[in-house]
Amino acid sequence: NAKELDDETGYYYYGARYYNPRVSLWLNVDPLAEKMPSWSPYAYAFNNPVRLVDPDGREPIPWYRKWIGEARKPWQWYAVGGVYDRNTFNSAAVYSTQNLRANAYQNVYQRNAYYGWVQSQADAKGLNSKWFGAAQLVTGLRGVGGTAIPDGGIITSSATDKFLQRGNKFLFSYNIKNARDLLANGGVSGGFTDAYGAKQSFEGLTGIALDNKLVEFEQSKVQEYINSYTGTDLKGIINNINNMMNGSLPSSEVRDVIKNKFDNKFDFRKYEDRIKLGQELIKKVRKE
């Protein structure tokens, strides 16, 4: 089906949900189930996979929509069998970047694909920045993207999953603006106030200096997100994140940094730890 197979579980990742091919069922409820109350929220493509596909685990799209039916919006792209059409994805990404249409990307999987697209564009332009490549790495299946895997709380609780997914959405609106600046001007304009209250600037920065400053910017926003959380379970969520990050789930690049730079004692609650992890991952992506 051309979807990414998780070898450890045997499940296919469709973006919004995971699919078990052995029993032909989704492992969690359709995010758009309320639109179709007469259908099981665990069914695939209205039980009609001959005429319909479900490209991201959300809403089945008839394959013929590419030729018949409502015209594609400029921020939309075609997907068949879960595979994004390169041409329409690229044109949609250009439009959404220029118009800062962050809501065109509705889940971690789609934002992960967008980060990869930005990095490919930066590379094609000869820009010496790898921040978006690092962002793609940490939002993949062995990062924030893994929170879509229903594991019954064995690895991460539902509260942790929601916390990380909402954080991913919160950060994206800022990151798409930085992507627009980078691709249009070769750098990022303006500045920000970091988590210590100090003024920081992007002006004139390129290469690893820019990448490191982008790490500081994002982690300042992460701190803002953490500080704004009103739930009573924040301590448990952070402990859950720490257990996950210091375990075997993350990508080999992340595991290597946490082992060699943190002695497997990374602490998500610490602003300094998050910056150090991000900047060390930048080195990994840059092969330095």
Give the C-alpha separation, 191 to 202, whole Å: 5
* pTM of the model as a whole: 0.77
Point out the residues of the chain with pLDDT beneath 70.
1-3, 14-17, 28-69, 80-83, 141-143, 145-154
The CA distances from residue 32 to 85, 108, 119, 192, 221, in Å, are: 23, 16, 31, 37, 29
Encoded amino acid at 71, one letter = A
**Strand partners for 192:** 200
Query: Which pLDDT score, from 0 to 100, does residue 84 have?
Result: 72
Query: Which pLDDT score, from 0 to 100, does residue 5 have?
Result: 78
Query: Which pLDDT score, from 0 to 100, does residue 192 have?
Result: 98
Query: Which pLDDT score, from 0 to 100, does residue 1 have?
Result: 57
Query: Which pLDDT score, from 0 to 100, does residue 61 have?
Result: 45
Query: Which pLDDT score, from 0 to 100, does residue 59 have?
Result: 46
User: What residues have CB less than 8 Å from 263, skipping those under 6 apart?
Assistant: none
Encoded amino acid at 231, one letter = G
